Structure 1
Amino acid sequence: MKNTIKNVFIIFFSFFILSCGSQKKENFKAKKVYKSNTLIITQISENSFIHTSFKQTNDFGNVPCNGLVVKDHHEAIVLDTPTNDKSSEELIRWIDEKLNAKIKAIIPTHFHDDSLGGLMAFHKHRIPSYSYTKTIELAQENNFVIPENSFNDAVILQVGNKDVIAKFFGEGHTKDNAVGYFPSENILFGGCLLKELEAGKGYLGDANVSAWSATVEKVKKEYPDVKIAVPGHGDYGDGKLLDYTIALFKGQ
């Protein structure tokens, strides 16, 4: 009888510990871990951070622009640069000093300056860059800093013991907009292909609005387990951001 009670207690205690551990992981509370006039860094999960820099525009004012940092085992990969070299230097320094991580790669997801405007800073630090082939073509055409390595469909890079995937699914915000995915935490960096909830359509000067919904539908099908979705501008959320973006451009 005593052994039975003891075994029940051990099972219950083990379940309690596991429950607390999983709850703690699921209920991660986002927090700002760095803030200056030009750069904000927000931790959104155990190993992922949104970097937000700013771009002054005529039509939309001073626009906050998001990128993502993911880390594992003292290594990091950055998706999209801050909007300029100064903010990029700030981010690189923070990753080095506060995360104590070496940046393995920078992945600009499209050719606009809210995605590769600070690329020169990364190249000065000898950090390799990877982009979809069309991004490199458009960067060349517009006399922007050119990413060093291209991929035709997708690339899988290693950060520590984890994978980071960058993949092109089709046109939308631009002809070259790729997305990033961090499978170990089910985090999607949609960049400017993805809209925050209640957002308008934004800048459409290089867009293919008729293809936009279908492209995001492909992303949703490929990554059905998204827990966190990060748009190029505005607040991050979950899979609802994909549904919202699909609906926003449906039938255009």
Structure 2
Amino acid sequence: MKNISKPLFILVVLLCMYSCKKNQTHEVITVSEELQIKKLNEHSYIHTSYLNTESFGKVPCNGMIIIDNNEALIFDTPTNDSVSEVLINWVQKNLKCKVKGVVATHFHDDCLGGLKEFHNRNISSYASNETIRLAKNKNYTIPQNGFDTHLELKVGKKKVFNTFYGEGHTSDNVISYFPDEKVLFGGCLIKSKGAKKGYLGDANVKEWSTTVSKIKEKYPKVEIVIPGHGAHGGQELLEYTISLFKA
């Protein structure tokens, strides 16, 4: 009886630990009326700002922060320069990190609407060459450093990989993957659970599922997936997005 009970007890404990990890709540910090920060783990955060739209009202827009050794990388700017200023100040003051770079994952306002403030602070910006081309066409603030399909950036001693896997929400949407914590920032290419298709004005709906399927295949061990809008989750967000756009 004792030999059966001990393994069973260990199994129950492990299942409880897994359940707690999967369902853990994350600290949400309200920095201002227009900016919230959510801590995911020691190195990863979500920043959320808001975009006023005619079709969808006031929309919460997610970005990512990765920190290590007093350095920070930011993925997608807040929606305007004033909120970017608040975000940069918060990272410097509260996380004690120097912001060394910002990545725009596509050319819409919820990715580079606050880019000018980063440039005012002499913070380097990165985007795909397609994003730079589209930003120029729209007379938006233009990211400084371009790449074709893949860019590896370092923050402290850690790496973040930025990659274009194909069209979907836009022709230029890239994702950013932080392997140390198995965190994937999908931006507007990835939908939150239960979300509708959203704005399709620049989308390639036919390729969307195929693109996300490539991402799912590339990162089978991803644990945290951050969409461009709405709540973060796990691999189920990739699966949901694939099914949402299947023909």
TM-fit CA distance, 1:34: 3.3
| SS at 1:90 equivalent | helix
Q: Structure 1, unaligned stretches of length 5 or more?
A: 1-14
Match of 2:102 among 98, 103, 106: 106
Matched, 1:60 2:45: no
Q: 1:231 — aligned with what?
A: 227
The equivalent residue for 2:47 is 51
C-alpha distance after superposition, 1:107-153 (max 9, x if no partner): 00000000000000001111101101100000000000000000111
> TM-score, normalised on structure 2?
0.91
TM-score in terms of structure 1 length:
0.89
The residue aligned with 1:7 is: none
1:200 & 1:220 partners in 2: Cα distance? Answer: 20
Corresponding residue of 2:85: 89
Distance 1:116 1:125 in 2: 15
1:176 maps to which residue? 172
1:156 to 152, 155, 161: 152
* 1:132 matched residue in structure 2: 128
Q: Cα distance, 1:26 vs. partner?
A: 4.3
Tell me by how many angstroms 1:223 deviates. Answer: 1.1
Structure of greater Rg:
1
Mapped to 2, the partners of 1:240 and 1:133 lie a distance apart of: 30
**2: CA distance, partners of 1:209 / 1:155:** 25
Residue 222 of structure 1, CA deviation:
1.1
For 2:227, give the aligned amino acid.
P
Pairs aligned (count): 232
Secondary structure of 1:145's partner?
Answer: coil
Q: Does 1:189 align with 2:185?
A: yes
In structure 2, stretches of 5+ residues that fail to align are: 1-9
Matches of 2:161 and 2:100 in 1, distance apart?
Answer: 13
Q: Hey, what's the Cα distance between the residues in 2 that align with 1:159 and 1:34?
A: 25
Aligned residues with identical type, % of pairs: 50
Q: Which amino acid aligns with 1:98?
A: N
* Cα distance in 2 for residues equivalent to 1:29 and 1:73: 25
Bigger mean CA deviation after superposition, 40-49 or 81-90 = 40-49
